Amino acid sequence: MKIRRLILAGLCVLAGVSQFAYAKSGETSANYSLLVYNPAKSLAGTRVLNGGGGSVGINMGDYITLKGEFEGYTTTTFTYHVKPIEGVTAGGTFESTGNLVSYLFGPQFNFPMTKKRIFGEALFGGANTGAYGNLFRAAGVTGLSAHNVGFAMAFGGGIDFRMSKHVGLRAAQIDYFLTRYEWKPIGINNQSNFRYQAGLLFAWGYE
């Protein structure tokens, strides 16, 4: 429920800002996204997820954009080594698959330059994956749904290059991307991940 309220609040902010006289311009993006995902300290190894998505932003002047971002990632089959935990699972080696979808909202801080722009961002929201639910079923852990929703946030920034009045190239965006899937009996809490994005940027509302 907390994540649903956060998403609703983010959508209301983005919709409401457009009513202000000075919010007459904005931007949308379409991007490729690579996520180096660290499942948890008790599940060895990182996972490289490929995906993509986009964002919608409303400009509050030249230096701040209120942004909503949506990304999706697909996975291949991964092998997990789970230690025995009394009353939870007998442990063993298991295979699991699962996609991941993230939805984040927050401010983007812009620093315009000649034919380019450096930006930073602080985004908050949620991430949904089926990987943990699939893994726990394979490992004989009961009481978990097929899809698991956790808190997520991204801190980072990047650089855009202007190609024309309304089109730009997002050459690189690099973020620290945190997810929180927490099941205390097996020690899964925060996952600290690396994210890279690149794509196209489309400006609208400019004359």
pTM: 0.81
Q: Give 103-144 pLDDT, tens digit per residue.
A: 999 999 999 999 999 999 999 999 998 877 777 778 777 655
The CA–CA distances, whole Å, from 30 to 78, 86, 141, 199 equal: 28, 46, 38, 6
Give residue 14's pLDDT band: very low, low, confident or very high (50, 70, 90): very low
Classify residue 103 by burial, with Cβ atoms within 10 Å: 0-12, 13-18, 19+.
Answer: buried
Domains of the chain: 2-204 (2.40.160.20)
Q: Is the pLDDT of residue 168 over 60?
A: yes
* Residue closest to 13 by CA, chosen among 72, 65, 70: 65
**Following CA atoms 154, 52, 204, 121 in sequence, which dihedral angle do they give, to the nearest 10 degrees?**
10
Query: 100, 78 in Cβ contact below 8 A?
Result: no
CA 53, 59, 60, 64 dihedral sign is positive
Q: What is the pLDDT of residue 3?
A: 53
Whether the CB-CB separation of 92 and 136 falls below 8 Å is answered with no
pLDDT digits (tens, 9 = 90+) for 50-97: 999 999 999 998 899 999 999 999 877 777 777 776 666 777 788 778
Distance CA 163, CA 185 (A): 52
